[in-house]
Amino acid sequence: MKRFLAIAAATAAVAASPAYASAAWEFTSASNSYTNGSWNFANSFTVLNAVTVSGLGWYADPNTGNVDANPVALYKCDTAGCLTTGTLLAQVTVDNTYALQGHFRFVTVPELTLAPGDYLISGVSDTNNYTWNDTGFTVDPNIQYNDNRWFSTTSGAMPSFNTSVVNDVTDGYWGPNLFLGAATFAGVPEPATWAMMILGFGLVGASLRRREKAVARFA
């Protein structure tokens, strides 16, 4: 019985443990609300400690909330500084059907583990409002934000591996973002958690069966 309680307690603890999840970068308030055409906005960053990416996102202007089919792409840079080419890791199209989380809407992608190294995220504004020089800009501690990049592009264009480093604002033109950690709803365990719970309950069942057999032998 003690073994049963110990296994059950361990399983419950796993199920109750919160999943770490947040945007790669955020700010407390948008300082600008502006658009003057369609732009390819991109940001390069360095992963300092391995992180899991579960979503790609696009900025939703708080005045309108609009995200009109904005494509976003994540690349692994082939060279330091992301100045030549990159390998495409994931690409999505973000629109208003996706939930608003802070200043961004995110599309869930199959989980990617980003090893330490240089990466670039790029997207197309498609005439949607964007912001820059934002108040309270913060970056996840596992990531180093490097630079902002932009060039004019046609509405409906796909994201490119943007090598046009500009760095003319303090944070970036938002723009693209990525969601770190597991994208889960409150109270719903992650797949890995389900697996550990099933394993725990399986051990409980095996323990009870062994106990029943032992009792039967000596009955």
Q: Which two three-digit tokens encode residue 148?
A: 């902002």
* Position with higher pLDDT, 17 vs 91: 91
Stretch 84-105: mean pLDDT: 95
Could you tell me if 119 and 193 lie in one domain? no
How many folded domains does the chain comprise?
2
Could you tell me if 66 and 48 lie in one domain? yes
- Local confidence band at 66 (pLDDT 50, 70, 90 cut-offs): confident
Could you tell me if 167 and 101 lie in one domain? yes
For the entire predicted model, the pTM comes to 0.76
Could you tell me if 52 and 125 lie in one domain? yes
Could you tell me if 61 and 154 lie in one domain? yes
Identify which of 129, 127, 172, 194 has the alpha carbon closest to the alpha carbon of residue 23: 172
pLDDT of residue 21: 87
129-145 pLDDT, tens digit per residue, is 999 999 999 999 999 99
Average pLDDT of the chain? 83
Could you tell me if 115 and 147 lie in one domain? yes
Domain that holds residue 10: 2-15+189-217
Dihedral sign for Cα 206, 208, 211, 217, please.
Answer: negative
| Chain position carrying tokens 């990531």 | 143
Could you tell me if 7 and 100 lie in one domain? no
CATH number at residue 79: 2.60.120
pLDDT of residue 184: 53
Of 71-80, 108-117, 185-194, 210-219, least confident by mean pLDDT is 185-194
pLDDT exceeding 90 applies to what percent of the chain? 69
pLDDT of residue 193: 42
Could you tell me if 7 and 114 lie in one domain? no
pLDDT higher than threshold 70 for residue 44: yes
Could you tell me if 81 and 161 lie in one domain? yes
Could you tell me if 63 and 159 lie in one domain? yes
pLDDT higher than threshold 90 for residue 190: no
Could you tell me if 26 and 7 lie in one domain? no
| 130-156 burial: b if 16+ Cβ within 10 Å, else e | bbbebeebeebeebebbbbbbeebeee
* Position with higher pLDDT, 55 vs 208: 55
Can you point out the beta strands (E) in 66-196? Answer: 70-77, 86-94, 100-101, 104-114, 117-124, 138-139, 143-152, 176-181
Could you tell me if 127 and 55 lie in one domain? yes
Widest distance between CA atoms in the chain: 85
Q: Which two three-digit tokens encode residue 105?
A: 């809407």
Stretch 23-33: mean pLDDT: 96
Q: Which two three-digit tokens encode residue 29?
A: 């308030």
In sequence order, the 6+-apart residues with CB closer than 8 A to the CB of 116 are 46, 47, 48, 49, 50
